[in-house]
Each structure stands twice: as C-alpha cells, then as structure tokens.
Structure 1
C-alpha cells in the first residue's frame, strides 16, 4: 500500500473568508461611530518669555560682581548694592533667575552666604554654575 504524501501548503481560503466578514462589519459600523468634541481650557494670561539669567560672580578675595544680561559687562558691587540690584530685577520680573558663579578656590561659606542673601532678597530661581571640561586636580 502506498503512503499518502503530506500536504505542505496552508489553506488560506478560511482566512480570506474571515477577513472579508471583518471588513464588512467595520464598513457597516464605521458610519455609526459618533465623533466627540474636546473642550479646551482657555488661558487668561500668557507667561512671559524666559529672560537671561543674572550672573553673580564670587571672586576668591570675596569681591562680588553682577552681570545683568549675557551681553552686559560685570559691575563690581558690595553685598548691599547687589541685593538692591537683584531685588529691583525681581520686582520687575518675578520669574528672574540668578546664577552664582564661583572659582574653586572660593570658600564654601562665601558662596552659601551669597545664596542665602539672594533667597532673602526674594529670588526663587537660584542656580550654581559649574565648569565643564576641566579635569580635577
């Protein structure tokens, strides 16, 4: 008796029938789907565009300088004048940010005192500048 050979092909006719039935179902139900509307909230005030950060530099001898914008020159100030200048900038723009830049030879206490003075002056956005690309010695 001869052995029957195995069939190594897939019969795709049932799959095509199922796909056609699904296609008909989607074609019939698609017009019945209702589109929803989205109510977006309105905005009363548009926030001001970000401004340049003011840079306070603490020098190793304890001297403080202030650069109000990125293209301005540094002005040497004492602690009281620095606080007055920063308070004036913050009153004009409450979102004004200030960056404290200090050399690595500056005492940590001087940097923290400057940071504390800026916080007491009403500055909410204070950052510390780091130097990138220098190897530690």
Structure 2
C-alpha cells in the first residue's frame, strides 16, 4: 500500500494506485431578490444549494494498479450508497468532509495493451455532499 490521499467509502485513493490529479469544489447560495420602490433591489439569503466535489483521477493499471478502487467507487455509485469522504493530508492528518453520494462517474482508457486493458485510465467522479454533516469544509 502506498500513501493514501483520500477515502470515499471503501475506495482508497493513493499515490500509487488510483491517484487524484485534481480536486474541485462547487457550491451555490440562493438569494431572493425583491425590487424596493425606486431603489436598488433588496437581496435576502434563503439557504445553500448543492455542494459538489469533483475529483479527477488517473491510473496506470499495468504499473500501479488502481482498478480495485475504481470498482469500489462504481459499486457505491450503482448502489446509490451514502458513504463517508475523508481527505488525508501530510502526517496522516485527515479531514472528515462529510457523507457523500457518488452522483456521476466517468471512465476512459487509452492505448489499449495486448491484454485488452488500456495503459492509461482517467476518471471523473462527482460527489454530492449529503446528510447532517453537509457543511463540508
């Protein structure tokens, strides 16, 4: 096992294995707008919308594996599981981001080897922060 970088349920993303290349975070806030007489509009916050984490992952399965972690992500996605997401940092210090659902999962492979498996795999995973701890970061 190499150095783990984050865990999504039973899928462990590592330096050697299914390796994260980029993390993106997106959220939105809702603001109701009301025109006030002949003045600027009045805005009032009405709550937060969806909080979405997008992970861009890569693996070279012939050299460093990683397809086992992808299989675990795919199982969580197809079963629509709500799983914990933990982001690990230097010194084995982690941050519990919250419970997530795998909303979207994309997979592509390039340069197909003679055994029928591509030499390079790229994945896009979109996580939706759900549950009581949906506050995230």
Structure with higher RCO (Cα < 8 A, 6+ apart): 2
Q: Which has the higher strand share?
A: 2
Considering only CA atoms, is the larger Rg found in Structure 1 or Structure 2?
1
Q: Which has the higher helix share?
A: 1
Same fold flag (TM > 0.5): no
Q: State the TM-score, normalized to the length of structure 1.
A: 0.27
